[in-house]
Structure 1
């Protein structure tokens, strides 16, 4: 009897159209070719699979969490050519978890409703993530800090990977949000962005006005500037004022001929309304 091997899906689909019926041996071979949930891969199969995975060049999220217990932190990832993908961050006991993203860039990352675990009155979760290689973004949340509501946007991903870390800490006191209004005025022709950091809090680069939602565990703001001055021979000075009384608080210098992603802009303390003014340094127009 002639033995016909069914080796591909197309062969299997068209086999019955010929009026033939698979023999028991053919069915047995077919079942043996399936990979079932309870099957344990051989070392050879595992290596083949690992090599296939290593060739994936999609963007990815990799995260680890520590001591967050039963916190559930779902993130919705949207792309132009795939349905929304939901990845839920849970306790990993400091082990790193990597998940590839469906579709292609650009991606948007938003939180769904977070299911908080059990927190003491002075305990809070700390979120840390990195949109590009130059800086991290920090947030505290939990208890009275509703700082990461449903729909919170992470920002634009400039890397192929989005690292995220969530931990829990006891701060020994109740933490409250403090707001500072920041007005940005750029009097130059150079594109300038600024970024702000505080205790347990930091934000993305921007070139528009903003209002911070930092914390009273450290009511200070540290400023950084991002600007490319390689095509100009004019240096730039960025002054920060107290908008309420006009007092000059700090000054940052952006030097001609240089490209920096973190020019030091100085620090302000306990200011509710600030104004940044960037202009060409004295003697330069």
Structure 2
């Protein structure tokens, strides 16, 4: 398999993302203004500072690769559909968590090839933790200076060890509640941003059903980490892997992140989705 991101480039990317995080933390630790975007989502100066720094980093390292960022403005599909490979970034995922100052926000950088996230970095500045993963190369978690390989866990027997289900800190839904009601014994953990996917990737959780709206930049980097760790990020309706840059809209379908497939949660998922019919 062709290695798309060399060890040297990966190290430079991780260092660049972590350096950008210091700029974000400077803003996080003082008073800042909050604007409202056209879609009613919040925007802070940290979103834009991170956007500018990450775009500059990627343009310096790979000037030939296009970049799509949440904050880069609309790029029409007629332009994007010609992209074989591109960077997809969310400069600050979990802006609501950033505003609440609970630390559950992340910086996200993904390399997407032919609709598939093949490399991704997720960095949580307050937690001083970085996750990354690459197709065929495995997934890793770095806390401080130490990095260790991560892997999804085997879905346990719920009668022995309850399943661990991750839910959104700020975006609940009736579908999520209906899904959980149909599961065997389980515990719920609520978290913000792409940290939810990372919990599955590192074996700290089993399932993350996202039965509420998200955009492609919210998930791409963490999907690369999850898949490199042996898990899957699946379209909730088709149970096919989530794909990117396939249409004009950049909204994801509902999806589920799993350590492994199991007919019990698949049945619960169908039940939850039926609420919308």
TM-score by length of 1: 0.25
Please identify which structure carries the higher helix content.
2
TM-score by length of 2: 0.25
Larger radius of gyration: 1
Please identify which structure carries the higher strand content.
1
